[in-house]
Amino acid sequence: MMRGVSDHNVATPVHVAIIMDGNGRWATTRGLPRIMGHRKGADSVRRAIQAASDCGVSYLTLFAFSSENWNRSKDEVGEIMRLLRYYLHSETEELHAKGVKICVVGDRTKFDKETVGLIELAENKTFDNKQLTLVLALSYSGRQEITWAVRAIAEDAVQGVLNLDEINEDLVSNYLLTRDIPDPDLIIRTSGEQRISNFLLWQSAYTELVFVDQLWPDFQEKDFQAAIEEFGTRERRYGRTVENR
Ligand code: FPP
């Protein structure tokens, strides 16, 4: 079995990741400011966590804010950050009570002190929880993550801590921000867009992709369950044939 990838033909994915797309469109089609879509999106986050927990998923990764999202208007970025702080402040206790472990992957240097403090508090408080690991990808970029790994590997090689012949796929995986997290079995993207958008580039080599038309604020528990069912019908071969897998 490959590193970090669960075996084929398992009905329940160990790790589900979601590209939560369509908040802006949900709001603008209703004549509302975009932030209203993000607020509604936070309700979908709660539902997705519940659905993942109910389905027996062990890891749920949510792409909440990409490195590219910093280029949105100052107002929208400010509102999303406020929403994120509010969410961490108001939900950590409840998530902790439900046995959820919170982890954040991304470029923390971009966040203000208060936000970093709330992230660290949430991570520290929930560190030992085992029911579900919730990974929030915040200020995250797959290419940046790989670039950081390349730099760290080169640094260790130059320092003589690492021999060139030790560099293999497992080692690269261990230099990524997701080193403690198995690769995703399933990535769901909402809103009908069919792109990976710089999300978990290395980790998604053999991930099943499910695209759903619902905008993220409309995403329900049943949509999560339907995606899991769709995953169950997929045949994962990891490049091998049906006969010789
Ligand atoms: C994508 O929709 C969504 C975002 C960039 C922000 C996601 C934020 C949340 C769901 C809420 C806060 C997060 C947490 C973890 C509580 P979009 O704005 O790109 O939609 P569009 O493509 O229709 O414009």
pLDDT in tens, 72-93: 999 999 999 999 999 999 999 9
CB distance 44 to 216 below 8 Å: yes
- Residue 8 pLDDT level (bands cut at 50, 70, 90): very low
pLDDT of residue 1: 42
Name 62's Cβ contacts closer than 8 Å, sequence gap at least 6. 17, 18, 20, 45, 48, 134, 135, 136, 137
What is the average per-residue pLDDT within 153-171? 98
Q: What is the pTM of this model?
A: 0.94
What is the average per-residue pLDDT within 8-24? 88
pLDDT of 6 higher than 70: no
Q: Which amino acid is at 214?
A: Q
pLDDT of residue 244: 67
Give the integer Cα–Cα distance in Å for 89 and 243.
Answer: 52
Q: Which CATH fold topology does 2-141+181-232 show?
A: Undecaprenyl pyrophosphate synthetase (3.40.1180)
Number of H helices, E strands in the chain: 7, 6
What is the average per-residue pLDDT within 210-228? 98
| Ligand 1 atom at minimum distance from 76 CA | 18
Q: Is 95 in the pocket of ligand 1 (CB under 6 A)?
A: no
Catalytic site residue from 23, 69, 112, 124: 69
pLDDT of residue 245: 59
pLDDT of residue 241: 77
Average model confidence (pLDDT) across the chain: 95
Distance 227 CA to ligand 1 centre (A): 20
Give the integer Cα–Cα distance in Å for 182 and 103.
Answer: 13
Name 5's Cβ contacts closer than 8 Å, sequence gap at least 6. 182, 183, 185, 206, 238
What is the average per-residue pLDDT within 169-198? 98
Distance 64 CA to ligand 1 centre (A): 6
Distances (CA, A) of 162 to 158, 175, 178, 226: 8, 12, 20, 45
Tell which wins on pLDDT, 224 or 10. Answer: 224
Q: Is 83 in the pocket of ligand 1 (CB under 6 A)?
A: yes
- Residue 238 pLDDT level (bands cut at 50, 70, 90): confident
**Of 5-19, 55-69, 129-143, 159-173, which range is least confident?**
5-19
| Ligand 1 atom at minimum distance from 64 CA | 7
Tell me, yes or no, if 69 is annotated catalytic: yes
Return the C-alpha torsion angle 60, 61, 63, 67, nearest 10: 170
| Ligand 1 atom at minimum distance from 34 CA | 18
pLDDT of residue 20: 98
Distance 39 CA to ligand 1 centre (A): 9
pLDDT of residue 35: 96
